[in-house]
Amino acid sequence: MPFRNNLFKVFLIIVFSLYGCSNNSQNSEIPQPVIPVTPYTFDFCPKNTPNEYEDYTMLWSDEFSGDQLDQSVWNYMYGDGSAYGIPGWGNNEEQKYVDSEENVYVVDGCLFIVPTFSDDGYISARLNSSNNQLFQFGRIDVSFSVPEITGVWPALWFLPEYYRYGGWPRSGEIDLMETINLKSDELLTTIHYGHDYHRYIGTTTRLNQLTKLTNPDDHNVLSLVWDEAGFEWLLNESRVYQLKYSNLDALNPNPFLEEFHMLINVAVGGNLPGNANSDEYCRRRENCPDVKKLVVDYVAYYQKND
């Protein structure tokens, strides 16, 4: 009997020890935050309409209605840049540009540009509004979302229509938006100029996760406010960056007082993003999620009221 009692005591000690360890283990666990997963969308367009402003009147907009790109506004650009005298598009980029609907198309109120990879290498699209829609001062709004892939380089930007002061960069360049790689929460805004050598000034703005630029079902509106004194970039009406001509060196004559045209493109690889990872790129437009595309809901151009 004493032996049995001792066994029973040992049994109780083991049971309580295990229970205590189990409790301690549970109590010591640190709860992990729940990160919401955004489901993939495919050719989704939020169909937002351009904003209205008391101080501005809309002169023009493209809301990408219908099922075709408006070629009275947008021109396709082609190849690797060699035909334009800038192989690799001047930045050692890896893609070739085409007008194939595999890579650039309009569906349900949005423009989609899809960089793809195949046996032909990287293929994408680049559009400009030269000879058609020009911009000089005022406010330009773009509602959009960007792809998030290693080596990707989407851009919304402006080049001079007439190159009155000579070739790039003497006649200027205005970058409304660039992002690179997987950094869809970093917005690059820049201008380029220089009568003596290449000068540039701008900023990289780190966004919070709630305003990542890669969510197609919650398009952000990026604005360029441009006047005779300088530029202001706004994201969803919050100032991102402001630049006054008076703070720039060697700007005389000022190329940013001239007319510019707009460009919309998705480059792959090159000096800024570095090498691409082909495994991350869609092979075909079909079943390619929007997170791997540049999606533009609208472009709107306003002039300030007198």
Domain membership flag for residue 1: no
pLDDT at 198: 96
The one catalytic residue in 173, 232, 259, 286 is 173
pLDDT at 30: 56
Domain membership flag for residue 17: no
pTM of the predicted protein model: 0.86
Domain membership flag for residue 34: no
pLDDT at 206: 87
279 lies in which domain range?
56-304
Domain membership flag for residue 47: no
Domain membership flag for residue 13: no
Domain membership flag for residue 4: no
User: Is 148 annotated in the active site?
Assistant: no
Domain membership flag for residue 171: yes
Domain membership flag for residue 32: no
Q: How many domains does the chain have?
A: 1
Query: Is-contact 51 299, C-beta < 8 A?
Result: no
CATH of the domain at 115: 2.60.120.200
Q: What percent of the chain has pLDDT over 70?
A: 84
The one catalytic residue in 148, 161, 178, 232 is 178
User: Is 29 annotated in the active site?
Assistant: no
Predicted confidence (pLDDT) at residue 24 exceeds the cutoff of 50:
no
